[in-house]
């Protein structure tokens, strides 16, 4: 077991754990735990503080396959000389008890197997202070964009390599998958328009006059909008009035040249704009 120091005081540590078990192929057969692996993580920094893994020899060794369908899977020979669960139960209890439990599909599988294993030796099972089942969390938050929610599929989706189906490797992969999913969700929430396939330019606010009142209008494109009745930029003067304004400015300048008086200029400007 590797230890890297405690988490910040007052912060509950998270233990990601995983079990490798036998797979019953007949009615009435049970699951036997073959391997336990766990990492303790500080939730504020996502740093691995502690790790532990062990193979476990089941009471019924014949339940373990002679050969594994996986290249690095567990076989009967692999666990033949491993400690029995009773020999490592205290260590497993210490790493699990009083911490937040995390893992993929742990509520329906791993937690049940842990309780069964402790019941077999007549000892109380460890109790979590919280639970994070990444299968349920990702189903709700991340969805099935990767195809399905199997750990192997999610790891392949993010280019994290092939799932090894060994406890310690799998819990580390589980943490990396969660980091990647959380990053994608964070970016999507921060840049929803850009990351949801809507690559529109940001809206531009323009001003127009309607019945003498200033109104604000949002445009969804930098290009000029179509000149329809419902979407037309209103010029703040009626048609034909620009000529009148031009004549007024011309007369104003002539009068300014004649009078050379600032007060009279202001007076004429007020009369023009009324």
**Mind telling me the catalytic residues?**
165
Our CA dihedral for 142, 148, 149, 152, rounded to 10 degrees, sits at -120
Among 51, 50, 75, which residue's Cα sits nearest to residue 61? 75
Q: What whole-number distance in Å separates Cα of residue 253 and Cα of residue 20?
A: 93
Distance in angstroms (rounded) separating the CA atoms of residues 51 and 89: 15
Q: Evaluate whether 95 touches 40 at the Cβ level (below 8 Å).
A: yes
| Sequence-distant (≥ 6) Cβ neighbours of residue 106 within 8 angstroms | 17, 131, 133
Residue with tokens 């594994």: 68
d(CA 72, CA 87) in angstroms, rounded, equals 24
Residue where the block lists tokens 């970016």: 187
31, β-bridge pairs: none
Q: Which of 180, 42, 175 has its CA nearest to residue 100?
A: 42
Residue positions counted in the chain? 274
């Amino acid at each position: 077991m590797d230890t890297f120091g405690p988490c910040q005081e007052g912060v509950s540590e998270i233990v990601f754990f995983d079990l490798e078990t036998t797979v019953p192929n007949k009615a009435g057969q049970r699951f036997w735990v073959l391997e336990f692996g766990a990492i303790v993580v500080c939730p504020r920094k996502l740093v691995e503080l502690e790790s532990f893994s062990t193979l476990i020899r089941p009471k019924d060794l014949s339940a373990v396959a002679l050969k594994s369908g996986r290249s690095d899977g567990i076989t009967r020979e692999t666990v033949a000389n491993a400690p029995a669960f009773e020999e490592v139960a205290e260590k497993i209890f210490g790493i699990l008890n009083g911490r937040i439990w995390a893992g993929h599909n742990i509520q329906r599988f791993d937690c049940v197997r842990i309780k069964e294993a402790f019941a077999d030796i007549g000892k109380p099972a460890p109790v979590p202070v919280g639970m994070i089942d990444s299968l349920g969390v990702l189903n709700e938050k991340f969805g099935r964009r990767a195809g399905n929610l199997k750990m192997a599929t999610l790891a392949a989706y993010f280019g994290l390599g092939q799932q090894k189906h060994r406890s310690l490797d799998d819990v580390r992969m589980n943490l990396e998958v969660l980091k990647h999913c959380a990053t994608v969700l964070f970016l999507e929430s921060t840049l929803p328009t850009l990351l949801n396939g809507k690559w529109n330019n940001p809206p531009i606010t323009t001003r127009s006059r309607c019945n003498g009142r200033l109104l604000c209008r949002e445009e969804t494109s930098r290009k000029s909008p179509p000149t329809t009745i419902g979407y037309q930029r209103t010029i703040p003067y009626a048609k034909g009035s620009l000529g009148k304004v031009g004549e007024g400015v011309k007369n104003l300048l002539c009068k300014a040249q004649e009078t050379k008086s600032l007060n009279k200029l202001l007076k004429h400007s007020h009369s023009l704009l009324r």
